[in-house]
Chain A
Amino acid sequence: MASDVKARVKVPKSATAGGTITIKTLISHKMESGQRKDGDGNVIPRSIINRFTCEFNGQLVIDVVLEPAISTNPYFEFEATVPEAGEFTFTWYDDDGDVYTETKAISVS
């Protein structure tokens, strides 16, 4: 799964100090639920992203635990406070041990 996972994050380039911004994230992942069966009737093993976190300069914004009921290509939208210029770090944890990270810098005006 690790090869074709692509994370996309939408963060404004700048914000007012102490202001609120909306962040949208999407990561391509099949999120195999472990409920489906293949053509021979064998259960397809579960393979999902089980955790997503967003931090700004090391401080937590949101931490999400994902269950198999989250749709393919997990999407999240949430709001963050930007106290100073810095960097958002987004981390996705895969069932197979892979960790995908994405960073976005933001300036304050």
Chain B
Amino acid sequence: MQLTRRDALSLGLGATALALVPLRVSAAADEAIAAFTGGAAPAMAGITLTAPEIAENGNTVPISVDSPGAVEIRVFADGNPTPAVAAFTFGPLAATHSASTRIRLAGTQDVVAIARMGDGSFAEARQTVKVTIGGCGG
């Protein structure tokens, strides 16, 4: 079989599409985020999400969020069977609007943190975490 230029191009495109699959944002995560923000587009500043670039064990991935002025911070994992991870609400005695915890990630995916500010606006931070061993069992 002769490999034409057109074939070679489509092969390349197919490979690119395959490579993009793990990064695909699940519709469930988008819906969960939209339900929280009410469809408002969040600003990309005002919140810090700290997560490892590579997590060897998806069962326990340390993350921390920090957003001065936030009333509530929610964390989503867009590749998990259920995207919601945690929701932090800060009271009057919270010295800083930050928190750290450990989460489960089913595989390589984006972790998204969204803060609801005191004035009703939203801020978003996201980071891709590569997971070597997934942490959702099954």
Contact = CB atoms under 8 A, between A and B. Distances in A.
Tell me whether A and B are bound partners.
Answer: yes
Identify whether the interface residues of B are mostly helix, strand, loop, or mixed: strand
Contacts of B88: 62-64
Contacts of A81: 93-95
Contacts of A82: 93
Nearest to B111: A69
B104 A62 contact: no
Chain A interface residue number, banded: 20 to 34
Interface stretch (B12-20, B40-48, B78-86, B118-126): B78-86
Contacts of B136: 33, 35-36
B77 A69 contact: yes
A75 B60 CA distance: 10
Given A35-B136, A78-B100, A65 B86 contact: yes
B137 A72 contact: no
Interface string A23-61: 000000000010111000000000000000001100111
Interface string A67-98: 11111101111111111000000000000000
Interface string B23-67: 000000000000000000000000000000000000111001000
A36 B59 CA distance: 13
Contacts of B2: none
A77 B63 CA distance: 10
A56 B92 CA distance: 10
29 contacts: A20-B95, A33-B136, A33-B137, A36-B136, A55-B91, A59-B92, A59-B93, A60-B91, A62-B91, A62-B99, A64-B86, A64-B89, A67-B86, A68-B104, A71-B59, A71-B101, A72-B60, A74-B101, A76-B100, A76-B101, A77-B99, A77-B100, A77-B101, A78-B100, A79-B94, A79-B96, A79-B98, A80-B95, A81-B94
Interface of B: 59-61, 64, 77, 80-82, 84-96, 98-105, 135-138
